[in-house]
Amino acid sequence: MTTGMPPVVDQATWRAALDELRKREKAATRELDAIAAARRRLPMVELPDYTLIGADGPVRLVDVFAGRSQLITYHHMWTDGAEWQCGGCTGFTSQFTRLDFLDNYDARFVVVTNGPIDEALAYRAKVGNKMDWYSSSESSFGADVDAPPNEGFAVNVFLRDGGTVYRTWHTNGRGTEQLSHTFALIDLLPWGRQEEWLDSPEGWPKRPTYSGWLDSPDIARLYGEDTA
């Protein structure tokens, strides 16, 4: 079976179609700007004085900020004792290898998992993850911010005022896609993600959802501590 291809047209026809699509792209950009403006106006809720576990032992949540005023946490799905953790979480967090730019915005981005810290740090090394990891295994922090043990992943954002921490924003599911460059690049391609749920023209390649994603062993092979 021949794979579907976009129709071939002359330059003027292509430019006209692109210009028409650009109107929708610009409208989406303006809507995202408006959503971000609304996000900046969200109220917030004060949090208790949680204690997490870091590479050097117990650490108060307020100290996870490392002196900064803003903190983003990615809550990595976790199964105690498993050889490989969630492939989606592993692949997603593998993207973030250079986060120093957040210093200019008085912010930090870290991984939090409900797993034991020793297991978490060993897994971090095995898959070559470059982020700082913390464990909430000895507190209710994960559950209290919508990332309880043995359930899904999440992103949370916090603001620190002196010694007090406030929760300002949360998302999960496809809400995390806005933080990823992988889908942004793939969605530019003529065939897109090629997943079976997509609205694509007849003849476009399709495969089961998630089947094109790198799994945890793939991430380890590419970036892990044993990579030659």
pLDDT of the residue at 2: 65
| Predicted local distance difference test score (pLDDT) of residue 3 | 82
Residue recorded with tokens 């915005």: 105
**Taking the chain (228 residues) in consecutive chunks of 10 residues, what is each chunk's mean pLDDT?**
87 98 98 97 98 98 98 97 96 97 98 97 97 97 96 97 98 94 95 96 94 96 83
pLDDT for residue 73 = 98
Looking at the structure of the chain, the number of domains it has is: 1
Which CA distances in Å does 200 have to 24, 111, 195?
18, 35, 9
| Strand ranges in the chain using DSSP code E only, listed in sequence order | 45-46, 51-54, 57-60, 70-76, 107-113, 133-135, 154-161, 164-171
Question: Strand 70-76 relative to strand 45-46: parallel, antiparallel, unpaired?
Answer: unpaired
Count of C-beta atoms within a 10 Å radius of residue 193: 19
pLDDT at 51: 98
Q: Does any domain span residue 20?
A: no
Q: Which domain holds residue 176?
A: 44-193
Find residue 107's DSSP bridge partners. 70
Task: Check residue 1 and give its pLDDT.
Answer: 56
Residue 33 included in any domain: no
Question: How does pLDDT run across 30-67, given as a tens digit for each residue?
Answer: 999 999 999 999 999 999 999 999 999 999 999 999 99
Residue at 70 is within a domain: yes
Q: What is the CATH number of the domain that holds 149?
A: 3.40.30.10
pLDDT at 226: 76
pLDDT in tens, 93-106: 999 999 999 999 99
